[in-house]
Structure 1
Amino acid sequence: MSGKLRIALDAMGGDRGPEEMVAGAVLAARQDDLSVTLLGDQARIETAIADCNLPAEVARRLDVVPTTQVVGMDESPFEAIRRKKDSSIMRAFALHKEGKVDAVVSAGNSGATMAAGLKYLGRLENISRPGIANSFPTMKGPVVMMDVGANVDCRPRHLFEFGVMAAAFARVLSGIERPRIGLLNIGEEGGKGNLLVRHTHYLFQQSSLNYIGNVEGQQTFQGDIDVIVCDGFVGNVCLKLSEGLAEVVVSMLGDEIRKRFLSKVGYLLARDAFAAFRRRVDYAEYGGAPLLGLQGTGVICHGRSSDVAIKNAIRVASEMVRNRVNDHIISLLAADDFLAKKAEAAESEQLPEAD
């Protein structure tokens, strides 16, 4: 294998089979100075690579590690890590633990991916719960939301840590030294929301982070916030709702254009603008969702990820490694370590009644 960075790709994850994973790996190997280790059905992977007719320089950047088991999308994560130690996702994180790869990318079972990452890599120091971050397009640039599905029942400490981890990732994603952090709530006032968000609001207020206060759902896409913090239940609903809305808007726009002659003429004149809009709201352009809080680097992709989405997920993983996101997390958390330790006690403090 050649290349400065080594990315392990779970070739058996996703809905489109290892052929799509191979196509994504090839795109990444062509565009970046890295190597990709594909784990899974050796015969199918090698056949897919051969079908690409790659130049020798690119072919040398692809490696295959055969595995004998696959974790299904509907399998229990805990059963999967207990019974399927030779699955592609388990072996990928085992390679990471052994230092043979620098990051893991998977479009497979997200729960099993998180469980495998925790089993082999463990948590970063002072991180009580790793989580999943996700980037959304806005009017002014991407916003990072965390958590979007890993932790549905949270405490104030967990949400505070999500803010720290997402801020560190936003530094890499957008190059912003002090990302603006907002807490997703049903109102901007400090007394709004349930006990969880009210306690978390006061905790953020005492921190050294660039916390701008509570934010409401309609502010998500305006571009005035860099990080939005929420629990995994709320975050996952927001993620699925946003993706579904983007797809419906694109589809409805296409339907309206096809109905009218003048609209078709207008489309021809503005074709480039429509194409740019479609790319802007396409999840594939943003790659995967990083698993933050692990002692290593992992990225989760959509099960229906295309080769472009896989290529971009590999790019996200490589940028996280190159920019040492975990070091930023540790540094930011250390600055407010007293708050993290105080967070549990904060739950018993008297707060004003909700508005």
Structure 2
Amino acid sequence: MKIAIDAMGGDDAPVAIVEGVKKFLSEDHETKIRLFGPSEALAKLIETSEQLEIINTTQVVEGNDEPVAAIRKKKDSSLVRAAQDVKDKQSDGFLSCGNTGAVLAAGIFVIGRIKNVERPALMPTLPTKVKGVYYNMLDVGANAESKAKYLVQFAQMGSIYAEDLRGVKNPVVKLLNIGSEEHKGDELHQTVHQELSQLPEINFQGNIEPNEIMAAKADVIVTDGFTGNAVLKTMEGTMKTVLHLLKDSLMTGNITTKLGALLVKNDLGNLASQFDNSRFGGAVLLGVNAPVIKGHGNSQAQTVYYAIKQVKEMISEQTVTKFRNLYQ
């Protein structure tokens, strides 16, 4: 088993990427890592071995690069070379914490879409208000516009992933909508609801409203990419704002408030950790011919470590093969 990793993707690359690789290799003595980036710089951070190979590249896809243009013009970038490695069957899966659009473009145009999959979808694993309970939401940005058949396939692939990678038996699938009734929403959502209701292979249980997506009522939430991306960014922004306001209120109050802050410090830490989904690695690009994981741009070593494990588990479970068999 081999995993191709873009060493230069992310805010703290290559250090965070390399540290994540080191942690992974300290525990896994079978999986081989093919690390793409400037060999001289990487050699100063990590030693090659039977498990680790450094492949020299001369270009980097920057965060502000136009995705498709970067894929076409930066052929010797660490991101493109790692994706091409999977395309050439030198590696079995691909991980990058770099430019989201470029990772999606590499997954679709370099590695390639599974035959009969209409559109790939980007899917993270997200926390709920119930400790230890998570859900998957897709699409969160791979497609700005969607058709009913796209969302139906998202539900099918998301359900397989939740069972394979998260161990959820018969995962509950719901459709993000403006109301719980089946007639709610526009024509697209009404059509998707009707079609999902007729699929025996998934456990579809109707609509879910935005205010309930963190209530642990669904294992897989299906939506179009535009809405999913907006919802995800709203959630991230709201969480950061609430934690900032809470901290500011506790630390700028009177002596009683500050003493109270000390008393609840551990509880606040536990609350923050409850909503930390770093152990699930990154978002998956479902619907392409190999496991493709997009790590968050600010990923640190621990998140990279879990993302590598995520790629390995998808390879081991043959999740992509199950998608492929579904649409033959």
Q: Does residue 212 of the first structure (1) align with residue 205 of the second (2)?
A: yes
Q: Mean Cα displacement is larger for which, 249-258 or 181-190? A: 249-258
Q: 1:83 offset after TM fit, Å? A: 1.4
**2:304 corresponding residue in structure 1:** 310
**2:152 corresponding residue in structure 1:** 160
SS in 2 for 1:154: coil
The one-letter code sitting in structure 2 at the alignment partner of 1:138 is T
Q: Does residue 31 of the first structure (1) align with residue 27 of the second (2)?
A: yes
SS in 1 for 2:64: coil
> Does the CA contact (< 8 Å) of 1:19 and 1:44 recur in 2?
no
Q: 1:241 offset after TM fit, Å? A: 1.2
Match of 1:48 among 6, 24, 45: 45
SS in 1 for 2:192: helix
**1:234 corresponding residue in structure 2:** 227
SS in 2 for 1:316: helix
Q: Does residue 221 of the first structure (1) align with residue 214 of the second (2)?
A: yes
**2:181 corresponding residue in structure 1:** 189
Match of 2:117 among 116, 124, 127: 127
CA displacement 1:273-318 (0-9 Å, x = unmatched)? 3322222223433311011101111100122222222112112111
CA displacement 1:9-68 (0-9 Å, x = unmatched)? 111111223122111211222233433222111122111226xxxxx9xx6533211101
**2:92 corresponding residue in structure 1:** 102
The one-letter code sitting in structure 1 at the alignment partner of 2:198 is Q
Q: Does residue 320 of the first structure (1) align with residue 323 of the second (2)?
A: no
In the aligned structure 1, how far is the partner of 2:40 from the partner of 2:245? 42
SS in 2 for 1:48: coil
Quick one: structure 1 residues 217 and 317, their matched pair in 2 at CA, closer, same or farther if it must change by over 3 Å?
same
Match of 2:7 among 4, 11, 20: 11
Alignment of 1:165-314 (within 5 A): 165-208=157-200, 209-260=202-253, 261-314=255-308
Ranges in structure 1 where 5+ consecutive residues have no aligned partner: 51-55, 338-355
Alignment of 1:58-73 (within 5 A): 60-73=50-63
SS in 2 for 1:49: coil
Q: 1:269 offset after TM fit, Å? A: 4.3
Q: 1:253 offset after TM fit, Å? A: 2.6
The one-letter code sitting in structure 2 at the alignment partner of 1:238 is V
User: What is the identity percentage for the equivalent residue pairs of Structure 1 and Structure 2?
Assistant: 35
Alignment of 1:143-158 (within 5 A): 143-158=135-150
Q: 1:267 offset after TM fit, Å? A: 4.5
In the aligned structure 1, how far is the partner of 2:258 from the partner of 2:51? 45
> Does the CA contact (< 8 Å) of 2:251 and 2:261 recur in 1?
no
Q: Mean Cα displacement is larger for which, 32-41 or 211-220? A: 32-41
In the aligned structure 2, how far is the partner of 1:169 from the partner of 1:134? 11
Number of aligned residue pairs: give it. Answer: 323
In the aligned structure 2, how far is the partner of 1:315 from the partner of 1:246? 27
> Does the CA contact (< 8 Å) of 1:279 and 1:285 recur in 2?
no
Tell me the C-alpha RMSD between the 2 structures.
2.0
In the aligned structure 1, how far is the partner of 2:13 from the partner of 2:167? 35
Ranges in structure 2 where 5+ consecutive residues have no aligned partner: none
